[in-house]
Amino acid sequence: MKQRSRILRKSFNYLASGVAGFSAALGLMVLGWILITVLSKGLAAYNTNFFSRLPTPPGMAGGGLANAILGTLLLTVLAGLMGIPLGLLAGIYLSEFGLNRRFAQSVRFLTNILMGTPSIIIGIFVYTFLVAPLGHFSAYSGAVALAIMMLPVVARTTEDMLQMVPKELRESALALGAPRWRTTLQVIFRSAKSGLLTGVLLAVARVSGETAPLLFTALNSPYWPSGLNQPVANLTVTIFNYAMSPYPDWQRMAWGASLLITLSVLALMLVSRLALIERKVKP
């Protein structure tokens, strides 16, 4: 077997390292450019009215996006109440009961497909089976679309985190006479709680900036949210509408809403990373 020269191998190594470093630096530069632009333009929109008042009619200065902020929180909470418990239960089944059975493998396969499905397809799906039959947009429909996007993220993260728990803990709890459900909830869940929190936060961050599914489900509203069975204001669709408008004041508030979502997602990512680091450090 002919071996390559040491100089040639080192040259290829330096070349690959240089290309990788350049790519990483380029990505960081683009990310920094985006963050600086959003920060500089978004801060100009922040005042007390932005967080406390309703939007003004087209062409009229002033107003705020308080209803969109409240609507986004409402949609996220509703989606979390629907998607997170189902994702946790699916992850428990895949990790503790399904294992390598054919049905569990099918669930994993479909979960991976759902994770890669474009959000607009999910929006059209919910519109077809929920919005069109009811005849109107609603907060329920938007929450269902976001919950469908949360479900596979929580399920796969839960499965991965539970499988990282040592088998000795399961065997010890079962040997002491604890039933399977109590072992799962009180032993395995406690050991993987930081990782499970990470999965939940990543799922919330996944849906925080989605616009396409809400265009087909929750749409938007210029008023305060007064019910779940009607269109509800949200930041992402508001950004889409305001950024496309010819009014400078609306465009400035679109930048402010973009900065608010960016900071929220960044905070969720930092919390999830800190939780994951805490789990790795603990013995």
| CA-closest candidate to residue 120, choices 217, 231, 200 | 217
Q: What is the mean pLDDT of residues 147-154?
A: 94
Q: How high is the pLDDT of residue 279? A: 55
Q: Could you give the angle at the alpha carbon of 22 between the alpha carbons of 16 and 26, nearest 5°?
A: 145
pTM of the model: 0.88
Q: How high is the pLDDT of residue 199? A: 86
Q: How high is the pLDDT of residue 2? A: 52
**Rounded CA separation 74/71 (Å):** 5
3-state SS string for 65-84: CHHHHHHHHHHHHHHHHHHH
Q: What is the mean pLDDT of residues 274-281?
A: 62
**Rounded CA separation 260/253 (Å):** 10
Q: How high is the pLDDT of residue 1? A: 47
Please say if the pLDDT value at position 130 is more than 90. yes
| pLDDT mean across residues, the chain | 89
Q: List the structure tokens of 124.
A: 């059209």
Please say if the pLDDT value at position 167 is more than 90. no
Which domains can be identified in the chain, with CATH numbers?
48-281 (1.10.3720.10)
Please say if the pLDDT value at position 269 is more than 90. no
Q: What is the band of 276 on the pLDDT scale with cuts at 50, 70, 90?
A: low
* Tokens 């997170």 sit on residue: 84
In this predicted model, what pLDDT tens digit does every residue of 48-102 receive, in sequence order? 999 999 998 887 888 899 999 999 999 999 999 999 999 999 999 998 888 788 9
Distances (CA, A) of 58 to 42, 64, 240: 20, 13, 15
Q: What is the mean pLDDT of residues 132-153?
A: 94
